[in-house]
Structure 1
């Protein structure tokens, strides 16, 4: 077996490379950034948006953490008869943000869903089995844009404001568990040509999720509920402290965003860790 990892310098892609190495493979890693110094990996520098400018050796399995639309367009250039499985990541946001209050978010997830379907159609036309994995909130302490961002806000402010009581349910999932799941899905005949939600092990409220971030920082939990109406009014003042935030984030704190992991458990043994982040 020879595996290609697209997006190998990202938090999930990096763990996929690590897991392939542990399994005894010498994977090929494609990334737009500078090659890694890891000698057991064949690093190729290239942009998935320009697949005709680089040549890849034949591979049997392709893992992609880049945007599904880019892969769908590039796959005919990357294809060889040896390719038997494509494992690609999208997101449960395709479901949870479809009715977002923010027009840009609705448009983004619409395009993401279209890209996912285009990738599936491309794989089908090439006769390549595919598996699409939709993670929930991805974290990797110190590196992600979700849990780590909240941890940095806690360190800066010493507290976290919530819109309302923060009762919406969440299932954070670690990036390394996603890599483990990707390899398991690629090896499972039962996972061929299916889409899976892959949530974390714990189903907890948004408030408890934030509380466990405090725990991981070894800080007392200081969580301040703010009435939703006041949250919206104050958001313009608070936004400079929370880059890339929008008012819809507060509205979603009361919304359940949970998914059934049973199909992934049954088909490829999905078994993620508890949500107990550590920021030592």
Structure 2
């Protein structure tokens, strides 16, 4: 099996590709000029915003894992261009040069509406206002209508393997003004690899699937885990189910997180 991975040097890709290589999966990575592929993978020069460069990358692959995305930048136009136009270009390349390949797209649980009355499920309304989740929903829709053999994984808050993502949370929380009691569904990098291997085997074909661990954790607790303390707050939490998603569908497809909670990750030095 040879697969193409986009975003191989990003937050998720840099930790996923080595695990796929270790599992014996041949990984080809789409890289801009001058960048090196992760160890054990083969780099193919190309750019999602340069459609002509994508044909050599997709030819002969049995699957595509599309991780590349842009977020947390004030340039909303570039977010849309990268996340939607880039995905559209990759879809067209797959249609023309690898129509039988599985196309697995990484998305986010941030797409769900903030006023959900319960943990969000894959078929719930998703009409986000922010550019990043809105562009991901638009890209998801492009893939679903492509005629390719697709699956979409919506990740909870990704952390672990010393990626620094969780450590950046307190600053993000302060800027966004989140309530300390807000709980988030999360997923460790190790379990993204578990989910991707299932998807590569076809377990999630044609489905959108939430990929999360077993225990949504409060912003207050997460801040303490990284050595910061939030001020307690007695005011009611307006939308208690925001960022808390239902992971039961993934379990039906055989996904079982090996890092069940962020507290387990801390105890086992997996942060």
Give me the TM-score of the superposition, normalised by structure 1: 0.71
1:132 shift after superposition? 0.1
CA shift digits 1:40-78 (9 cap, x unpaired)? 321122211112135233100110112452222322224
Could you list the runs of 4 or more consecutive aligned residues of structure 1 that deviate by over 6 angstroms after TM superposition? none
User: How has the CA–CA distance of structure 1 residues 27 and 94 changed in structure 2, closer, same or farther, with 3 Å as cutoff?
Assistant: same
CA contact (8 A) 1:265 1:271 kept: no
Mark the structure with the bigger radius of gyration.
1
1:231 is aligned to none
Higher helix share: 1
CA contact (8 A) 2:156 2:210 kept: yes
More displaced 10-residue stretch of structure 1: 166-175 or 85-94: 166-175
Write the distance in 2 (CA, Å) between the matches of 1:182 and 1:9: 17
Write the distance in 1 (CA, Å) between the matches of 2:21 and 2:66: 17
- What SS is found at the alignment partner of 1:117? helix
1:37 shift after superposition? 6.2
CA contact (8 A) 1:98 1:106 kept: no
1:28 is aligned to 28
Write the distance in 1 (CA, Å) between the matches of 2:142 and 2:115: 18
Within 5 Å, which residues of 2 pair with 1:103-118?
105-118=129-142
User: How has the CA–CA distance of structure 1 residues 33 and 267 changed in structure 2, closer, same or farther, with 3 Å as cutoff?
Assistant: farther
Matched, 1:134 2:154: yes
Write the distance in 2 (CA, Å) between the matches of 1:85 and 1:97: 31
- What SS is found at the alignment partner of 2:151? strand
1:260 shift after superposition? 1.3
Which residue of 143, 153, 168 maps to 1:149?
168
Give me the TM-score of the superposition, normalised by structure 2: 0.73
Within 5 Å, which residues of 2 pair with 1:256-271?
256-271=242-257
1:174 is aligned to 188
Write the distance in 1 (CA, Å) between the matches of 2:175 and 2:11: 28
**Gap runs ≥5 in structure 1:** 154-159, 215-220, 229-249
Write the distance in 2 (CA, Å) between the matches of 1:78 and 1:186: 16
CA contact (8 A) 1:11 1:175 kept: no
- What SS is found at the alignment partner of 1:150? helix
1:202 is aligned to 215
2:93 is aligned to 77
- What SS is found at the alignment partner of 2:137? helix
1:116 shift after superposition? 1.0
User: How has the CA–CA distance of structure 1 residues 211 and 187 changed in structure 2, closer, same or farther, with 3 Å as cutoff?
Assistant: same
Question: How large is the RMSD of aligned CA atoms in angstroms?
Answer: 3.5
